[in-house]
Structure 1
Amino acid sequence: MKDFIKVLQRFLPPYKGDTIMMFVYNLLGAIFGVFSLGAIVPVLDTFFNKSVDVAVLEKVPWELKTDVAVHNFNYYITVVKNNYGAEYTLFFIAAVALTMVFFKVLFTFLGSYHSVNIRNGVVRDLRLQIYNKMVSLPLPFFSAEKKGDIIARSTGDVQEVEISVMSSIDMIFKNPIMILVYLIGLLLISVQLTLFVFIMLPIAGYIIGLTGKTLKKSSRDGQNKMGDILSTIEESLSGLRIIKAFNAEEKMHVRFSEESNSYRRIMNSMMRRYVLAHPVSEFMGTLVMLTIMCYGGMLILNGTGNLTGSTFIAYLGMFYMIIAPAKAFSKAAYTIQKGLAAMDRIDQLLEAKSTITDKENAISVNEFGNSIHYKNVTFSYNGEKNVLKNVDLEIPKGKTVALVGQSGSGKTTFVDLLPRFYDINDGSISVDGVDIRDYKMKDLRNLMGNVNQESILFNDTIFNNIAFGVENATMDDVIAAAKIANAHDFISATENGYDTNIGDRGSKLSGGQRQRLSIARAVLKNPPIMILDEATSALDTESERLVQDALDKLMENRTSLVIAHRLSTVKNADLICVFHEGKIVERGKHDELIEKDGAYKKLYDMQLL
């Protein structure tokens, strides 16, 4: 229950107005519900001539007392009956009952109207929190997490919380009000019988609650398994070409079947317990109802407890009205357990601590002045083997530095440290003599542009992909950037030009076209520092020529770090650094390194062969 209260405390404060109005309307709805049932007692007594005496022929002054209200209601019914007859009185009773029910359903609707605002608002807020947290977390976090599991938390788990929050709102602001108001009505009719109800209900509630004790754990297991299933689906869609190429359809089918069967077993166990709630609560409700009927009947037959047949009928009607919200309590208890399990999984994401953050007094930086200096930099992923070992390199402004070497030698890690995608373990990286950890991260990254081997594009128009991250970009700006990137001609040849949607990850374009859009995006940002990570390695000769020409234009008058496997593309670099097992083993210009006849010369000769 504490966890449930904490969830409400987190999400309801922005909706105080709706919460208050929902409470007020539900209270009024319950009160009119009691009035509609309480009217049965004097109506039955008066209608069947059981209590027509001098008392009901005289009206008493109105006071906030039950006896006064009952007496005056008797009076009006008696007047109508004596003046117009029993048949007309029947229509009068029906009109009174209909009026009471009308106000009951009206206020109940208004209460639900405000609860809808809360429900949809809470779900929106939760999704926004998850998304904002997801994009704010550093890259190391996602190395240890499955994409499918994060998607499951953002969709299925949020849906579970939505259902849970809605049930909890009804449980807190509707059902207790109804039960309390109806219990007051029961006490006014018979204290002795109501005390008996107070003994029976907790016993029934305890028995109903026994079936839901392990539901939260089972629900968490099911949601974790759904994360595994979504991860498998995501991997299958991403790697569909490889699955088909290696005839691995059956292998993936077996893997997915195992995951699905495991999820089925978990959900069978949970849902059997869940569906048990209704029959158990119905059986216990019927048992309590029959027990009350027997006990109340004994009180009437024995002449104790001030009960009459008419009051007992009204009493049973009110008690029956309690059964529905009481059942809703038991059902909500199950649903809330599922929602709390989902909330636990969501909180694992929301409460994940970002290891890469700004310092308290971080410095703003708007321009790049002199140089970038890597000084004795050492780095490892998750405390494992060092990927970089005491690397030292100074990059003057306006120079192009090429990084070459075998795969896994540390080149990509080296450039990823500059925009603080990861933080170094030892040493320092400085821009203009200031450690990059002292700068505001957003300002630091504004100094840099990235073009990667894999063109990361979005399912949007060509215009929006080029203008991505640049505020208030005009069409003229985008066209100018596209021309520099050798992309304007193929863009103009598309059906809708710059308004053409390029599909998921740019699937409607060729590799060279996607890469030139990435370059155009970097050109439009116009950063002083450019990071190029094997931007031409996956292209054919013609596309490479176009992209390389665009890259040459992009690097003009900029400080560039270029990772290249094709050494022919970096012959003109101001400095070439050869990486091997996390260290720079050679550095110099192309001709100098060829003359040294070392690691670079071996790589160059291998490519020539």
Structure 2
Amino acid sequence: MINKKLLFSVKESIPYIKKNVMYQWIGLVCNVCSTASLCLLITKSDVNRYVLFLVIFVCLILRYIVNKKAIEMSYQSSHIVKETLRSCLYEKLSKIGNSYTNDWSTAEIVQLASEGVEQLETYFANYIPQFFYSLIAPVTLFVVIAFMDIKAAFVLLVCVPLIPMSIVLVQKFAKRLLNRYWGQYTKLGDSFLENLQGLTTLKIYEADGRYHEKMNVESENFRKITMRVLTMQLNSITVMDLVAYGGSALGIVFALTGFQKGTITLFQALFIILISAEFFIPMRQLGSYFHIAMNGMAASDKLFAILEKNMKEKQNVDINEYSISASNLHFGYTNQEVLHGIHFEAKQGMIGFVGESGSGKSTIAALLMGQYTNYSGELKLSDYDIKDINIYPYMTLVSLESYLFSGTLKDNLRMAKEVSEQEMNRVLEKVGILDFVNEQGGLDMRILEGGKNLSGGQRQRLVLARALLKNSPIYIMDEATSNIDVESENKIMEVLYELSKEKLVLCISHRLANLINADQIYCLRDGNIVESGTHEELIQQDGVYCDLFNAQKELERYGV
């Protein structure tokens, strides 16, 4: 149960653990002194009672102080553990990027960062200090009692290891059970989060009842395995109590036998009777932390699976001339290939990617942003392969999934760059939303989670304003104007065309009319780039692009 890798992953907590053990040991010494003084008061009549009362009082005060200090050390170590592990997890996920969802669900990450780390807090704050203290305490008491009755001391010391032996017997079974428990716990969390996020959809299709029953089944499975864990814990605690009480009783019997035979005095016999339980209390307390620590260990296995995930370190490079190119680029989400050896090149200006749904447009955006690295062929930013470098300083993605955080508008804009309020107002005016913002309280207007208090067009304009503040050389617009009003769509495209005079803008759009003035358009079909050129050139080719454009134009005319 002493996981060195886990223990040394948070080295900062080790000094506090040592101090915790030291304070507990001082408390034990105080308890021995106060117990000895009490026994002298009871058994001896020729002692200075005022001195003994003073010793007992001082020992009680000192013990109170060191117990409080031990609790403080527990808090300090647990605080460091939570901060360190959560920081390491967040840092690792930041390096992996949003591709972490390829291996772990968001619900699992949330549960690991919250409940899992809380379990590990108990491991560091309680279990580890108690483990070392439970080794020191019996040895200390053995030395003290050995001067009075070596047989009683030896019997008490021999019985102490029976508690950890009972723990070891259940450890193998407990580890398997707790791994299943944690797996069922995360599975239930996954279902709950997914159903909660999709509740509106479930209501629309009247499927909420069916999914409710499904969650009931998963909840019942979790209840059953929780009951098995509790049964195991209660049974092991019962065994530990039997050993503790039995060992104490055996030590008391030996002490009384020694007193009866006259080998020890009444003071010594009474002292052994009163202190014998202290042999087992530390180890018994360790046993009570054991199952919580085991749960923490199960969480740590999952935590280290993330922290130790092999990941090639991204290089930070300096780029002066910006271009994106793909050569013989192949990619598939599973065994089925989505992109079939495509080629394209994009330099300064507006570059459009069009095609029917499922043709591979958004897949290109995901690859450019490093969400997937298991492609073959070449995908380069200037002369560097995108999978090898940190692309975030150079690229900004704006999509329908771009997120607005709860807080003020100013907080959301400062996420891109620390700039003045004048600069923020300038970009808000540029995207045509400054008047609305001023009506809502200016830069201090409240934004709800995900921008729920905004319309689709308003949300996308604010997302674009934040992207403009970043001022990156390359912008990728992945269906950024889908499902918004015509006025907002036209304004956003106007801003993008103005931006493309200085930057490289890759625009993936469902509406081909938005890209009429693009410098280059790539038309995709079934994972292949079948045509490329300007709008006029593609229309003259009278191919796939021409058919798509005319079909959309006819639909828009029909809608009017």
The two structures share one fold, judged by TM-score above 0.5: yes
Does the 8 Å CA contact 2:159/2:243 hold for their aligned counterparts? no
Quickly say closer, same or farther: Cα 1:485–1:554, change in 2 above 3 A.
farther
What's 1:220 paired with? 179
Q: Which consecutive unaligned segments of at least 5 residues does structure 1 have?
A: 50-76, 81-88
What's 1:490 paired with? 436
Q: Equivalent of 1:481, from 427, 436, 450?
A: 427
Q: Equivalent of 1:254, from 209, 213, 226?
A: 213
Say yes or no: does 1:264 pair with 2:263: no
Does the 8 Å CA contact 2:396/2:475 hold for their aligned counterparts? yes
Does the 8 Å CA contact 2:17/2:125 hold for their aligned counterparts? no
What's 1:465 paired with? 412
Displacement of 1:117? 0.8
What's 1:381 paired with? 333
What's 1:150 paired with? 109
What's 2:192 paired with? 233
What's the CA shift string for 1:35-67, capped at 9, x where partnerless?
1222345444431x6xxxxxxxxxxxxxxxxxx
Quickly say closer, same or farther: Cα 1:200–1:529, change in 2 above 3 A.
closer
The within-5 A match list for 1:171-320 is 171-203=130-162, 205-207=164-166, 209-303=168-262, 306-320=263-277
Quickly say closer, same or farther: Cα 1:92–1:427, change in 2 above 3 A.
closer
What's the CA shift string for 1:220-250, capped at 9, x where partnerless?
2122212112212221222122111001110
Displacement of 1:212? 4.9
The within-5 A match list for 1:355-366 is 357-359=313-315, 363-365=317-319
Matching residue's letter, 2:397: N
Say yes or no: does 1:502 pair with 2:447: yes
What's 1:425 paired with? 375
Say yes or no: does 1:585 pair with 2:527: no
What's 1:519 paired with? 464
Does the 8 Å CA contact 1:519/1:551 hold for their aligned counterparts? no
Displacement of 1:544? 2.3
The within-5 A match list for 1:105-144 is 105-144=64-103
Matching residue's letter, 1:6: K
Q: How far apart in 1 are the matches of 2:285 and 2:245?
A: 15
Displacement of 1:16? 4.6
Quickly say closer, same or farther: Cα 1:127–1:264, change in 2 above 3 A.
same
Quickly say closer, same or farther: Cα 1:567–1:517, change in 2 above 3 A.
same
What's the CA shift string for 1:240-276, capped at 9, x where partnerless?
2211100111011012111111110110000111123
Does the 8 Å CA contact 1:417/1:424 hold for their aligned counterparts? no
Quickly say closer, same or farther: Cα 1:202–1:522, change in 2 above 3 A.
closer
Displacement of 1:27? 2.8
Between 1:423-432 and 1:188-197, the stretch displaced more is 423-432
Matching residue's letter, 2:332: S
Does the 8 Å CA contact 1:157/1:345 hold for their aligned counterparts? no
Q: Which consecutive unaligned segments of at least 5 residues does structure 2 have?
A: 556-560
Does the 8 Å CA contact 1:212/1:274 hold for their aligned counterparts? no
Displacement of 1:547? 2.9
What's the CA shift string for 1:315-363, capped at 9, x where partnerless?
11111222321211221222221221111121122222225x325xx63
Q: Secondary structure at the match of 1:145?
A: coil
Between 1:272-281 and 1:323-332, the stretch displaced more is 272-281
Between 1:214-223 and 1:569-578, the stretch displaced more is 214-223
What's 2:385 paired with? 436
Between 1:147-156 and 1:231-240, the stretch displaced more is 231-240
Does the 8 Å CA contact 2:475/2:503 hold for their aligned counterparts? yes
Q: How far apart in 2 are the matches of 1:465 and 1:291?
A: 68
Displacement of 1:211? 4.5
Q: How far apart in 2 are the matches of 1:381 and 1:552?
A: 32
Quickly say closer, same or farther: Cα 1:214–1:249, change in 2 above 3 A.
same
The within-5 A match list for 1:11-90 is 11=10, 13-47=11-45, 77=47, 80=48, 89=49
TM-score, structure 1 normalization: 0.85
Does the 8 Å CA contact 1:138/1:422 hold for their aligned counterparts? no
Quickly say closer, same or farther: Cα 1:415–1:315, change in 2 above 3 A.
same
Between 1:541-550 and 1:189-198, the stretch displaced more is 541-550
Q: How far apart in 1 are the matches of 2:34 and 2:479?
A: 78
Displacement of 1:578? 0.8
Q: How far apart in 2 are the matches of 1:313 and 1:106?
A: 27
Q: Secondary structure at the match of 2:476?
A: strand
Q: How far apart in 2 are the matches of 1:176 and 1:160?
A: 23
Does the 8 Å CA contact 1:373/1:393 hold for their aligned counterparts? yes
Displacement of 1:513? 0.3
Does the 8 Å CA contact 1:40/1:310 hold for their aligned counterparts? no
Q: How far apart in 1 are the matches of 2:495 and 2:215?
A: 44
Matching residue's letter, 2:52: I
Displacement of 1:439? 6.9
Matching residue's letter, 1:37: T
Q: Secondary structure at the match of 1:417?
A: helix
Between 1:141-150 and 1:38-47, the stretch displaced more is 38-47
Q: Equivalent of 2:499, from 535, 541, 554?
A: 554
Q: How far apart in 2 are the matches of 1:322 and 1:593?
A: 88
The number of equivalent residue pairs is: 554
Matching residue's letter, 2:70: G
Displacement of 1:437? 4.3
What's 1:351 paired with? 308
Say yes or no: does 1:567 pair with 2:517: no
Q: Equivalent of 2:285, from 318, 323, 328?
A: 328
Q: How far apart in 2 are the matches of 1:94 and 1:451?
A: 76
What's the CA shift string for 1:437-482, capped at 9, x where partnerless?
49741xx332222221333221222122223231x21111111111
Q: How far apart in 2 are the matches of 1:20 and 1:200?
A: 26
What's 1:95 paired with? 54
Q: How far apart in 2 are the matches of 1:6 and 1:401?
A: 50
Q: Equivalent of 2:486, from 538, 541, 558?
A: 541
What's the CA shift string for 1:495-542, capped at 9, x where partnerless?
x22112211111111000000011101211122222111111211323
Does the 8 Å CA contact 1:25/1:107 hold for their aligned counterparts? yes
Does the 8 Å CA contact 1:186/1:319 hold for their aligned counterparts? no
Quickly say closer, same or farther: Cα 1:102–1:389, change in 2 above 3 A.
same
What's 2:392 paired with? 445
RMSD between aligned residues: 2.3
Quickly say closer, same or farther: Cα 1:163–1:203, change in 2 above 3 A.
closer
What's 1:57 paired with? none
Q: How far apart in 2 are the matches of 1:194 and 1:141?
A: 57
Displacement of 1:424? 6.0
Q: Secondary structure at the match of 2:447?
A: coil
Does the 8 Å CA contact 1:462/1:498 hold for their aligned counterparts? yes
Quickly say closer, same or farther: Cα 1:208–1:480, change in 2 above 3 A.
closer
TM-score, structure 2 normalization: 0.93
Does the 8 Å CA contact 1:138/1:354 hold for their aligned counterparts? no
Q: Secondary structure at the match of 2:144?
A: helix
The percentage of counterpart residues that share the same residue type is: 24
Q: How far apart in 1 are the matches of 2:366 and 2:81?
A: 37
Displacement of 1:200? 2.9
Does the 8 Å CA contact 1:411/1:579 hold for their aligned counterparts? yes
Matching residue's letter, 1:296: A
Quickly say closer, same or farther: Cα 1:137–1:113, change in 2 above 3 A.
same
Does the 8 Å CA contact 2:156/2:276 hold for their aligned counterparts? no
What's 2:324 paired with? 372
Matching residue's letter, 2:341: N
Displacement of 1:10? 2.4
Q: How far apart in 2 are the matches of 1:508 and 1:438?
A: 37
